[in-house]
Amino acid sequence: MAATFIHTCYRVLDPARSEDFYVNKLGMKKVGEMDLGSATNHFFALEEDPASPMLELTHNHDQTEPYDKGNGYAHVAFTVDDLEATVGDLKDQGVTVTLEPKTLTAEGNDYRIAFIEDPDGYKIELVQRGTMKVGEMYQ
């Protein structure tokens, strides 16, 4: 099977608040929007490239209570150039940091990570670029 990963979808309560977080705090670009009547899908990417994986934020118009994320969801991850500076900047902007930058060791390699939350409580791992040796994407 020849497949391409195209997006991850989160359900959000306040699309404007989420757009502010992903665009102004994480540096993504809003690349599209799709009105489905009872819901609107908002699409974000790190690059304005149709082949770039996207984050789809779905706003179900009648949803008023926070979503139950269950016990199967863990996180998505982004690489950053300077973990400490990024976390400091995000804290200054009021972003919730759930794990301060720390070094972990796995299979003889040290890597630097931190965790933050988006406005709906979805966990996001930040990885210091070049420290996690799992494929080209982390380089």
CATH number of the domain at 7-60, out of 2.40.30.10, 3.90.1150.10, 3.90.1640.10, 3.10.180.10? Answer: 3.10.180.10
Residue among 47, 107, 125, 136 flagged as catalytic: 125
pLDDT in the model for residue 131? 65
**Sheet bearing 39-45, strands edge to edge:** 7-11, 54-60, 39-45, 29-35
* pLDDT digits 0-9 by tens, 23-79: 999 999 999 999 999 999 999 999 877 778 899 999 999 999 999 988 778 899 998
pTM score: 0.84
CATH number of the domain at 76-138, out of 3.40.50.1400, 3.30.465.10, 1.10.3210.10, 3.10.180.10? Answer: 3.10.180.10
Q: Is 47 a catalytic residue?
A: no
Calpha distance 132→109 (Å, rounded): 7
Residue 138 has pLDDT above 80, yes or no: no
pLDDT in the model for residue 49? 76
